[in-house]
Amino acid sequence: MPSSPREKKTRLILDVAIKLFSQKGYAATTMDDVAKTAGISKGLSYFYFKNKEDLYMAVTKKAFDELKGVFREIFKQKGRNGLEMLTDLASSYIGFAHSNSMYNDAILNFMGIMQQYTQEENHGQIHPLILESEHFKKLLDIHHDCGKLGIQMVSQGIKDGSIRPELQPEVTFYTVWSMIIGYERLTGPVAYEDKDIKIHLDNWKPGFIKLLQDMLKGTIQAQKPQVVQASLF
């Protein structure tokens, strides 16, 4: 819990920013909007956050902290094997993304920034105020925290026998996470049903979970079509 006046003010500005970013979107929200809604002067808001980009990076860090809490809660549960933890993670992440769409968008936006950041020649495509943000620098240190927990879930599954032993934990987890993110991104298009596409959310989610489980357990096997012999006479 925030205790000092500075911590309380910082939390207030963050909470207001999260509310406004959720309601109006990042582009349409100004620092003046944040200051007015928080009941402080615009100048004071700049004392706590250098600019809107810095504020958004602080919100993004909070989003990662919240998501890490989801991962940690699943990982610390007793009596569950690795496959069960990853199955719970899939459902929990989807729930997190739908209930906290602004957080999820901030996390995915940061992943997009990292695609540019990891290639030095593309640094110029990133807003310079983002690169200067102390919160962006903190994100560079903590954005793999969720991945580290997910890798431990896979390792646990390999150890307890619920996940096939030949899988490599790091590759496996990041592949699973990419599948979960892709599923969440496609729920909108799938919900908009097309007469030529025989899929809807009610049957896709259980099918997705089962396919994920089968992939991790190693129960997916190619089957050759059976040859039916018949006489022409």
C-alpha 85 chain-centroid distance: 16
pLDDT digits (tens, 9 = 90+) for 84-98: 999 999 999 999 999
Indicate if 64 and 13 belong to the same structural domain: no
Let me know if residue 230 belongs to a domain. no
- The span from the CA of 51 to the CA of 35, in Å, is 12
Indicate if 4 and 64 belong to the same structural domain: no
Q: HSE-up of 87 (CA within 13 Å, CB side)?
A: 18
pLDDT digits (tens, 9 = 90+) for 170-225: 999 999 999 999 999 998 888 887 777 778 888 888 999 999 999 999 876 544 54
DSSP 126: S
pLDDT of residue 196: 76
- The span from the CA of 32 to the CA of 38, in Å, is 10
Containing structural domain, residue 140: 52-217
Mean pLDDT of 19-42: 95
Number of domains comprising the chain: 2
Indicate if 92 and 28 belong to the same structural domain: no
Give the count of beta carbons closer than 10 Å to the beta carbon of residue 48: 17
Let me know if residue 229 belongs to a domain. no
Whether 229 shows a pLDDT value over 50: the answer reads no
Indicate if 181 and 70 belong to the same structural domain: yes
Indicate if 131 and 64 belong to the same structural domain: yes
pLDDT of residue 127: 95
The residue to which tokens 């799938």 are assigned = 190
- The span from the CA of 50 to the CA of 213, in Å, is 46
Instruction: With cut-offs at 50, 70 and 90, classify the pLDDT of residue 128.
Output: very high
- The span from the CA of 9 to the CA of 44, in Å, is 10
Share the mean pLDDT of the chain.
90
Indicate if 39 and 135 belong to the same structural domain: no
Let me know if residue 88 belongs to a domain. yes
Q: What is the pTM of this model?
A: 0.88
Indicate if 56 and 35 belong to the same structural domain: no
The CATH number linked to 33 is: 1.10.10.60
The CATH number linked to 152 is: 1.10.357.10
pLDDT of residue 231: 41
Let me know if residue 208 belongs to a domain. yes
Indicate if 11 and 87 belong to the same structural domain: no
